[in-house]
Amino acid sequence: MSHQDAKATAQQVIRDLLAKHPPGFVVMVIRALTRMQRANPDITVFAQPQKPGATPPEKHPPRE
């Protein structure tokens, strides 16, 4: 994903959040994600697409 694609995706996510939630909540979410990213740069906000033929991650059974 290019930088421009990532920026466009992030902007769309923010627009979607603002359509459903108050602005204060969206600001709180963005700040929390920013703190998490600074604390651990290995964290990625968006999942990477699966490569064809890759084994999907193991799913845990639902709790009862």
The domains of the chain are located at 3-39
The residue that leads in pLDDT, 44 or 13, is 13
What CA–CA distance (Å, rounded) separates 34 from 57?
Answer: 26
pLDDT (tens digit per residue) in 3-30: 788 788 888 988 998 999 999 999 998 8
- DSSP of 35-63, one letter per residue? HHHHH-TT--SSPPPPPTTPPPPPPPPPP
pTM for this entry: 0.51
Q: Which two tokens stand for residue 29?
A: 């979410």
Residue-level pLDDT at 24:
93
CA distance 51 to 13: 24
